[in-house]
Amino acid sequence: MRTRVLTLLVLQASLALLLPQDAAAQAVRPGAGHAAPLGAQRPALPGTDRPGRLLSHSQAVRLLQRAGLGWVSSGGCADRGNRRCTSFEKVRAATLRKVIRLKRRSGCPVVLTGGTETGHEHGRYSHGTGYKVDVAPNPCIDRYITGRYPADGLRDDGARLYRSARALYARTPSHWDILFR
């Protein structure tokens, strides 16, 4: 199963590089089913529009699918207590709305690689409290973030920071660690 997930992640990343943006955004992604066409508007799920609302994993996945975002798990699982899984259990609805907005405004394919699963740093504004997600890097999203938001120093672990009015983007070696407030 792990080999299959990693193969699908490599395939998705290759599609993002080889196909035009709108074609790559419509590719099938692990855990995402068929994505909506780029820019397609679908109604929000009931109850996801309230500030501070925490979602179940299945609600979050449906919201991501409707918006055409993908997600992957290196462990091929969604258990919040397993650091090898990718879970969206108790993610803030506002966090997902903001990552969906990032996809729409950038026009880039966006694949989430981390959510609320254990294994991240703790704190008030953390993965575990639903404020942060990890996004797979790709040339399009890299250009969008670094070209739109000013650099704002380095994090303690050496990740370069980029700041917008309501978000902080940290470029780690393997992903974008994004805090949405």
- Domains of the chain, residue spans: 2-180
Number of C-beta neighbours around residue 150 at 10 A: 9
CB-based contacts of 173: which residues, under 8 Å, 6+ apart?
A: none
Helix (H, G, I), strand (E, B) or coil at 175: coil
More confident residue, 83 or 177: 177
Return the SS3 of 70: strand
Q: What is the mean pLDDT of the chain?
A: 78
Integer Cα distance of 73 and 115 in angstroms: 10
The Cα–Cα gap between 131 and 177 comes to 11
Handedness of CA 74, 114, 12, 96 (dihedral sign): positive
Share of the chain above pLDDT 90, in %: 55
Q: How confident is the model at residue 118 (pLDDT cuts 50, 70, 90)?
A: low
pLDDT value of position 57: 94
What is the pTM assigned to this prediction? 0.72
Q: How confident is the model at residue 45 (pLDDT cuts 50, 70, 90)?
A: low
Which residues pair with residue 29 across a beta bridge? 33
Which stretch of DSSP H or E encloses residue 10? helix 2-18
**Which residues make beta-bridge pairs with 167?**
180
Nearest to 107 by CA among 29, 22, 180, 44: 22
